[in-house]
Amino acid sequence: MILDSKIPEGPLAEKWTKHKFNVKLVNPANKRKYDVIVVGTGLAGASAAASLAELGYNVKAFCFQDSPRRAHSIAAQGGINAAKNYQNDGDSVYRLFYDTIKGGDYRAREGNVHRLAQVSVNIIDQCVAQGVPFAREYGGLLANRSFGGAQVSRTFYAKGQTGQQLLLGAYSALSRQVANGKVKLYPRTEMMDVVMIDGKARGIVTRNLITGAIESHSAHAVLLCTGGYGNVFFLSTNAMGSNVTAAWRAHKKGAFFANPSFTQIHPTCIPVSGDHQSKLTLMSESLRNDGRVWVPATVETAEKLRKGLIKVNDIKEEDRDYYLERKYPSFGNLVPRDVASRNAKYVCDEGRGVNETGEAVFLDFRDAIKRDGEATIRAKYGNLFDMYQQITGDNPYQVPMMIYPAVHYTMGGLWVDYNLMTTIPGLYALGEANFSDHGANRLGASALMQGLADGYFVIPYTIGDYLAQNPIDRISAEHPEFKKAEKEVSDRLQKLLGIKGDKTVDFYHKKLGKIMWEYCGMARTAEGLTKAKAMIKELKKEFWTNVNVLGANEELNQSLEKANRVADFIELGELMVDDALNRNESCGGHFREEYQTPEGEALRDDENFAFVSAWKYLGEDLEEELNKEPLVFENVKLTQRSYK
């Protein structure tokens, strides 16, 4: 299949402006006749639902939480990027575009990324108008801080709770439309399948998580705003409920899955403390603005520290290795996430890790507190410091934080064109659920930017182009295709309930997570990936014959919810391994040990792998088909990334 990205013709800076003029429009009276389903109510979903309803469309919004305010977007801490250049430090739309392309190791589309940079400036104005309490400078202008992968300060923030404040802004816009009757909200409802009629997405099948009722909902278009799939690793910074099911159901109905192996390991997370943990805690990347990353200069000093023979504050300055500042003098502690994570792994593999397990490095605020005073640091990061102290018992104003990389974000997702439409007509994917903007590594503070860009400023234009070319006919949820999909969903749930094995769902999820982290995590090899594929195939067979799902369907049943999601994670895990095995290069977060520079940096192969991997599902237990969308770079030069 030839993948048509529908990137508009013309100069890069004019593509989006011209495209907005060229798309077909739906007149205001006709908008009232179209129904749109939005699955997920995080930043992408809430902003899309509110914007489309404001335009006049009838929107149904679904979330499995009890309120849209509990979407995982609320957990984002550090900030949101925008090319406002308030600091007058050389930022511009083009520089944000360039930093994003380079940060993603040249594995993203130029057209999509430039549009993201363009609309970033509108997002901030929109959010300020909604009352989002961004930090401000003395003169009243919005404050900025710097983030990894950039040498300018373009990140807007609200202390360490930016995601929460942005989500409350989007939620207020959504609530206004719920009150107006233009959005019908379905909380505690999980999408179980996409329904296609005449080759187009025309609705979804859901399960009520309180009663277990299977229901159908029809529409003229379906938007998936369901986040990422980092929980395939079991331990991640994602909320426990975050899953791949909506995207995976769509994939099995014909939506191609792009770059599934491109997952991001975040460098500043609280280290794993034991097998009892069910998730990990992120410490915002913004902390790397003032915190200095270091480990002891020698293995001997690190061993003394781990054994409790010395305290961290006993280690003299000359015995500390500020390894990011040493290796990358231009960017220092603000190198991109993949570079920072890999280097943390390197020093810990050398035996210089600083906690009992040897898998942690220090993030030290001693010098910043001396320079700016504790009150200034508290004003910037107070809630993050408090959170760290509550979890670890250590006071980061007095001793350095201990951090280690952990799974955080997924750059891969459903393949979409410039209009955010998947390979299924009428089915769109927004935010982290799609693959389109971040290549092989996302820059910090760009997730919130993409989610809101897609919801507030892209989809309102592009969905109209599709709807204007399709009839206004409504399809009943009693249509045979809906009934068929309902039966398939019900049969699958009954099959899970009927296995009656002797191992819990979490047992298999943890097992999958360990395979994925070991062989498809921070470093990958052909040998390890081949081994992982065989292990996942065996795990899938065991899961479907030996999992024990308690309870019944027609009730609140979290064991059944989890089982359905883990079954999809297992299949996704195999595809991630296939994708990583196919890509014989290193780029961004995908680090194949066979392909690295003499300095240990990712070594791309632009001649053979400058493409998007788009996988097509062919059927149960069949190998998926790889389709390639070539990446064309007309405005940036492909070079070996350097942050030195």
Cα Dmax for the chain = 75
The 3-class SS string of 556-589 reads CCHHHHHHHHHHHHHHHHHHHHHHHHHCCCCECC
The residue with tokens 């187009």 is 200
Which residues touch 498 (CB under 8 Å, ≥6 apart)? none
Rounded Cα distance between 569 and 572, Å, is 5
Give Cα separations from 372 to 134, 185, 275, 283, 402 (angstroms): 21, 47, 39, 21, 22
Give the position of tokens 């792998």.
609
3-state helix, strand, coil in the chain (%, to 5): 40, 15, 40
Helix (H) or strand (E) holding 337: helix 337-349
Please tell me the distance from the alpha carbon of residue 443 to that of residue 465, in angstroms, as a whole number.
31
- Give dist(CA 274, CA 349) in Å, integer: 19
**Coil, helix or strand for 181?**
coil
Tell me how many degrees the CA angle 255-628-116 measures, rounded to the nearest 5: 70
Q: Of 337, 352, 442, 565, which one is the catalytic site residue?
A: 337
Euclidean distance between CA atoms 454 and 450, whole angstroms: 6
* C-beta separation of 81 from 449 below 8 A: yes
List Cα–Cα distances, 260 to 109, 479, 616, in angstroms: 16, 34, 12
Give yes or no: 492 in active site: no
Q: Can you read off the two tokens belonging to residue 112?
A: 């999509």
Q: How many CB atoms lie within 10 A of CB 556?
A: 13
Q: Helix crossing, 43-55 with 162-179: angle to 10°? A: 30
Active site amino acids: 337
